[in-house]
Amino acid sequence: MHYDFQTLPQRRDTGSAKWEQMYRDQPNLGPDIVPLSVADMEFENPPEVKQALREWLDGAVMGYTDPTDEFFSACLGWQERRHGWTPKREWVVTSPGVVPAIFNAVRTLTSPGDGVIVQPPVYYPFFMAVEAGGRHIVRNPLAVDRAGGAPRYRMDFDDLERKASNPANTMLVLCSPHNPVGRVWTRRELERVLDICARHDVTIVADEIHDDLIMPGVRHTAIMSVSRLADWPRLVVCTAPSKTFNIAGCQASVNYVPDADVRERFVRGFKDIASTELNCFAYPATIAAYTRCDAWLEQLLGVIWSNYQMLRDFMHERMPEVEVYPLEGTYLAWADFGAWGLSPQGLERFMHEDARLYLDEGHVFGSEGDGFERFNLACPDHVLHSALERLYAAARNAGLLGPNGGSQK
């Protein structure tokens, strides 16, 4: 079956968070402007998911709903089939999203005043979770390796060792694959993370929500497939079908917590705030996504990779001052506009007012992201192309293109 990734859904005035935010900021924008910011997709949901929800709604009552055997089977089967590891049913703890799971893990598995290690530039709710829990942010910034020509982020393991060896720092929140820089950590890298954290008694919370969104020639390694749980069981792995299948509004997260003591504290944290159930639509949507949508996902990945190549090649030919980083995973491209010499606020103003382009600004991912922009590639190719043409025209008019700037085509 051929799926439609060319038609742009009508999302204005539907409550879409990123569309509503864009029009609040600029109410007079024309209908041709599409936000490429918040990480959901400008594609229709998989038809198999929509059909499953219709069938469920026709035969169900929208009362309080618990996970079924079919739900557990779908979640466990997906991890085994797609990611090569076999979780146990008793490890599963559901939550209404990965972000609530991370907030809960910080609150329940550390103590007030503890340090929580993050690796910026990184998904900004990590900072929020640490601060909201009365803990301290401990930065282990990613480093950039240019030895092979193209820039590539890597972990600074020497710095991680120093930070983890401080007994006040009791948790690492790991983004794997990494949002926003697009790295997919290798097995060797994850082995080093596990070794450091195990030796220094540091709990790992791994956000693997982008684990299905892997580009050609790259393989995601689930941290659970690396970990020898008998040696270091203090792991919480957060996954969800929401990014992969564009169903964030269903609010379904599937978290894997192998250690019984850690799991009991994690579950108790949700009970303490009366947040122990998913909404009734989360279960049939997840079952359909994990059992009926492999073909849709494979076609989606081809579209994302093609859009990334368009962005990379466009910048190389037309705006070579802008450095697009390699994309290994996620549908989010990371681009460095630092050569333009604009402040973070100036770059944001240029994007909004001159280019009429709504991206996620790099500075929200930490000061390490100053001068960067994050492009959401999960959109029809003509939408991305139009956005890039607006960007080029605005940069040319503003005199931002250097002497090596490409010619108009």
Please tell me the predicted confidence (pLDDT) of residue 404.
63
Residues of the chain with pLDDT under 50: 407-409
Please tell me the predicted confidence (pLDDT) of residue 409.
40
Q: pTM for the whole thing?
A: 0.96
- At residue 311, what is the residue type? L
Q: Which two tokens stand for residue 355?
A: 């280019």
- Which part of the chain is CATH 3.90.1150.10? 17-47+293-398
- Which part of the chain is CATH 3.40.640.10? 62-290
- Please state which architecture CATH assigns to domain 17-47+293-398: Alpha-Beta Complex (3.90)
Please tell me the predicted confidence (pLDDT) of residue 408.
44
Please tell me the predicted confidence (pLDDT) of residue 231.
73
- 335 phi and psi angles, rounded to 5 deg: -130, 140
The domain made up of 62-290 has a fold known as Aspartate Aminotransferase; domain 2 (3.40.640)
DSSP 243: H
Query: How far is 312 from 310, CA to CA, in rounded Å?
Result: 6
Share of residues in the chain with pLDDT > 70 (%): 98
On the CB side of 217, CA atoms within 13 Å amount to: 4
- By C-alpha distance, which of 155, 154, 110, 165 is closest to 136? 110
Q: Which two tokens stand for residue 228?
A: 């020898």
Please tell me the predicted confidence (pLDDT) of residue 32.
83
